[in-house]
Amino acid sequence: MLIANPIYDVVFKYMMEDLKVAKTLISAIIGEEVEELDFCPQEINVKYKEGSITVVRADFLARIKTAEGYKAVIIELQKALLSSDIRRFRRYVGSQYQSATNVYEDENKISHARPIYCIFFLGHALGNIDIPVLTVTNHVRDRATGKELQLRHEFIDCLHHKSWIVQISKLKKHRRDDLEKLLSIFDQSNLTDSNHIMNVSEADFPKEYRHIIRRLKQAAESKEITEQMTAEDELISDFQHLERVIAAKEEYIEQQGKKIEQQGKKIEEKDKKIEEKDKALATSQQALATSQQALEVLHRQIAEYQRKYGTSDE
C-alpha cells in the first residue's frame, strides 16, 4: 500500500487532525488510555519565495482514564528534522507552562495547573543512542537513601513533565512490540523512488492501527498535500544549507578567536619584555643619576679645596 510520508509536516498534520488516529497514536506512545482528545493546532505560516509553508505544532487536551478515575493532561507533540529545532522545543514547552488556558478550577474554585506530556519525533539521532523510543519520567527518590518513592503530587506532576522521544532514524532496526510496528510508518527505509511516498503492507500492522495506514493512503492521493511536500523539500534544503553556512562561520570565528588569543599572548609576552627592559633602563638611569650626583659632589669638593688651598701649580 502506498502512503504519504508522515515525516513531512503537512502529512503529519493531516494524519493528526483525524482524532481517532491521534487518540490511537498518542495512547500507544504514552501507554495510557486516552478517552477524549481536543486538537488545538498551533500553526506558523512561513513566507517562502513566492508562496508560504505551514509549520505545525500539535497541542492536545486529553482526558485520560486511570485506575483512580480520569485526569486532564496537555499533550504537546513536536516533530523535528533539524538538530537546531531543540530551541523551538524549549520555547514551546515554556509557553505551555505560562499559558493561562492550561489552568483549571475545581469545584471549590481553586486553580490547578494541568500536567504536560511532551512527545518528540526526531529526524536526527541522539548521538549513539540506538533505541527507537525513549521514555523520560518524573520519578521521585529519597535523596539520602536513593530509594524510588511511589508518590504523586500536583507540585511534582505539573512542574516536571513526562516526555517520549521517537528517533525516526532508529526505527528500521527494531520491531519489538506493537508500538514499534505502528511507528514503522515513519521508517524511511520504506521510501519508494519519491521521498513523498512510502510502500508498506497493511498486514504488517495490528488491526487496531490499520485506520492510521488508510489515513496516510488518503494523504498520498491528495494533489494539494503533494504540492506542499515539495515546498517543504525546498524549505528544508534551504534550512540545511543555512545550518552549514552558520556552522562554517562559527568554525571560522572560532579559528580567528584562537589566532587572536595567540596574538594576544605574543603581545603580552612582548609587553612583559618591554616592561622588563623599561625597568632595567629605569634602574640604569637611576644609577647614572646617582653617579652624576656623586660626581657633582666631588666637583664641588675639589672646587672648595682649590678655593682654600689653591692649585698645585701655585
Tell me if 34 is assigned to some domain.
yes
Burial of 123 (0-12, 13-18, 19+ CB in 10 A): middle
Q: pLDDT tens across 148-192, in order?
A: 887 777 777 767 778 899 998 888 877 889 999 999 999 999 999
pLDDT at 78: 79
Any domain includes 153:
yes
pLDDT tier at 47 (50, 70, 90 boundaries)? very low
> In whole angstroms, what is the distance from residue 50 CA to residue 28 CA?
40
**Average pLDDT of every residue of the chain:** 81
**Alpha-carbon gap, residue 66 to 247, rounded angstroms:** 47
Give yes or no for a contact between 34 and 63, defined as CB atoms under 8 angstroms apart. Answer: yes
Interhelix angle 19-30/9-16, nearest 10 degrees: 100
Whether 106 maps to a domain, the answer reads yes
pLDDT cut 90: percent of the chain above it: 23
Number of domains in the chain: 1
What domain range includes position 102? 2-221
**Does residue 123 fall inside a structural domain?**
yes
Distances (CA, A) of 255 to 88, 250, 251, 252, 258: 28, 9, 6, 5, 5
Q: Tell me what pLDDT residue 175 has.
A: 84
pLDDT above 70 for 101: no
Q: Is residue 276 part of a domain?
A: no
In a domain? residue 231: no
Residue 159: name the closest of 102, 226, 86 by CA.
102
Binning pLDDT at 50, 70 and 90, where does residue 57 land? low
Residue 96 scores a pLDDT above 90: no
Total residues belonging to the chain: 314
Across residues 205-209, what is the average pLDDT?
92
Q: What are phi and psi of 177, to 5 degrees?
A: -150, 180
Does residue 229 have a pLDDT over 60? yes
pTM: 0.65
